[in-house]
Amino acid sequence: MVFEAILFLAVLVVSSKLLGELMHRINQPTIIGNVLAGIIVGPAMFAIVQPVEAIELFVSIGVFFLFFLIGLEEIDLPGLFRVLRGRLFAGSAVAFLISFAAAGIFGISLDMEFVNAFAIASVIGASSLGVTAKILTDMGKLRSTIGLEIFTVTAIVEFIAIIITSVLIQVNQSESPQIMDFVWLFSNMVIFFVVAGLVSIFVVPRFFKMLRQHLRAKQVYFGLVIGMILFIAYFAEISGIHGAIGALLLGIAVSRMGREEYKEISKNIGVLGYGLFIPIFFAGIGLHFTPNFFDIPWWVIAVFLAIIVGVKFGASYIAVRIARMQPASTVAYGVMSKGAVDLALMLSLLEFDMLDDSMFSLLVFGTLITMVISSVELQRKLKKVIKVKVGPPNLVFLPTISDKQYQT
């Protein structure tokens, strides 16, 4: 069985990388190639790889690495607090809430349980920054006014979706969810954020800096950072918080460190994460994909796809108008983007039995369609944006990443 799992991992790594390369060559997100690899070699098609326990362990670790790198590269908490009362935050909230409400109400109309319906809705309402940030980087517009505004709004929507989905997952663990369960879990999460925030500001940077100064053996520092990611994820889980949130907060903490320490951690964790664990995670999503979702009534499939693609774009367009960003349709295609976060949250819902295989596969299918549409349209429209200027830093997030970091 051990050797069989090694074979499965080898097939997943090679196939996900090769199909990711193919997608990159045709200007599509490499994530699509990773997921397609899992579908092709998994039970949905050739059944070369099965989702055995060892594979699921790698997939779980991939989630923690993914969220650590999201916190490290994408989420700027001081920037978030800075824009809380601004037009960009208002627009971001609208972008999430319209899709969230539409999907949640439709789920309830299908007799889904309330918590499950709105957990699915929070994933549908989510945006994901990775694909959009890479497109902006490739086209040299990440730090232009339009690039910074797209980055900011998408990052806020992404953050809102992560928090709400995590709360709903934890509420679902209660035998009979009540309003007080929502209040308690949200309060628990706020406390966790406050404590983690204080630790990230006053403890983590000093601790990592001290380690770097005193350790001499090669890669010991790197290994301790990996251990810290897994420890934080574990303690978050036993605290009633999704482990991915703990990894996200640690990533945010590390992003506040000095430039030299930040670059070293980002480079090393990025190589291991993007090189091994994260592609396996996305390929693992493909392993759970089933074409049986076509057994769902056609009108249910049509409405969900219309919400995932059409309502999501409409919500993004309305949000862009509220935030007074121009050109509106270009920014909307950036804000509607789907990707890593959505897929990670979907897999979490599947693991907690909050959606079945058919609904999971339908959501994955809709997400892949949205990724292609937003990617193609954003690239096409950005080519028409000739004038590029740097946006005012007091209104937006400033990416902590370098412009070259999304090339991986």
Residue 295 · residue 288 · CB < 8 Å: no
Write down the pLDDT at residue 407. 41
The predicted-structure confidence for 115-131, as pLDDT tens digits, reads as follows: 899 999 999 999 887 77
The DSSP H or E segment spanning 11 is helix 2-25
pLDDT-wise least confident of 41-45, 88-92, 142-146, 156-160: 142-146
The predicted-structure confidence for 45-87, as pLDDT tens digits, reads as follows: 999 998 888 888 888 898 889 888 888 876 666 665 665 557 8
**52: Cβ–Cβ under 8 A, 6 or more apart, which residues?**
1, 4, 5, 8
User: Cα separation of 324 and 88, whole Å?
Assistant: 8
Write down the pLDDT at residue 394. 47
Average pLDDT over residues 332-351: 89
User: Cα separation of 319 and 91, whole Å?
Assistant: 4
pLDDT at 405 over 50: no
What are the φ and ψ backbone dihedral angles of 206, each rounded to 5 degrees?
Answer: -65, -40
> Could you tell me the CATH number of the domain that includes residue 148?
1.20.1530.20
| Residues listed for the chain | 408
Q: pLDDT higher for 231 or 131?
A: 231
- Report the domain count for the chain: 1
pLDDT at 179 over 90: no
Question: Does residue 229 fall inside a structural domain?
Answer: yes
Q: What is the dihedral of CA 303, 116, 370, 312, to 10 degrees?
A: 70
pLDDT at 167 over 50: yes
- Band (104; pLDDT cuts 50, 70, 90): very high
Phi-psi region of 143 (alpha: psi -120 to 50; beta: other; left: phi over 0): alpha
Question: Does residue 404 fall inside a structural domain?
Answer: no
Write down the pLDDT at residue 85. 59
Average pLDDT over residues 196-222: 71
Residue indicated by tokens 């190589």: 271
Question: Does residue 122 fall inside a structural domain?
Answer: yes
Question: Does residue 405 fall inside a structural domain?
Answer: no
Q: pLDDT higher for 150 or 84?
A: 150
Write down the pLDDT at residue 391. 46
Write down the pLDDT at residue 78. 62
Question: Does residue 372 fall inside a structural domain?
Answer: yes
pLDDT at 204 over 60: yes
Question: Does residue 398 fall inside a structural domain?
Answer: no
- Band (163; pLDDT cuts 50, 70, 90): confident
Question: Does residue 400 fall inside a structural domain?
Answer: no
C-alpha closest to that of 131 among 70, 200, 54: 70
Domain span including residue 135 = 2-389
Helices (H), 26-174: 30-41, 53-73, 77-82, 87-109, 114-125, 129-138, 145-172
pLDDT at 366 over 90: yes
- Band (403; pLDDT cuts 50, 70, 90): very low
Average pLDDT over residues 275-283: 90
Selection from 71-80, 183-192, 254-263, 372-381 with the highest mean pLDDT = 372-381
Question: Does residue 71 fall inside a structural domain?
Answer: yes
How much is the mean pLDDT over the chain? Answer: 82
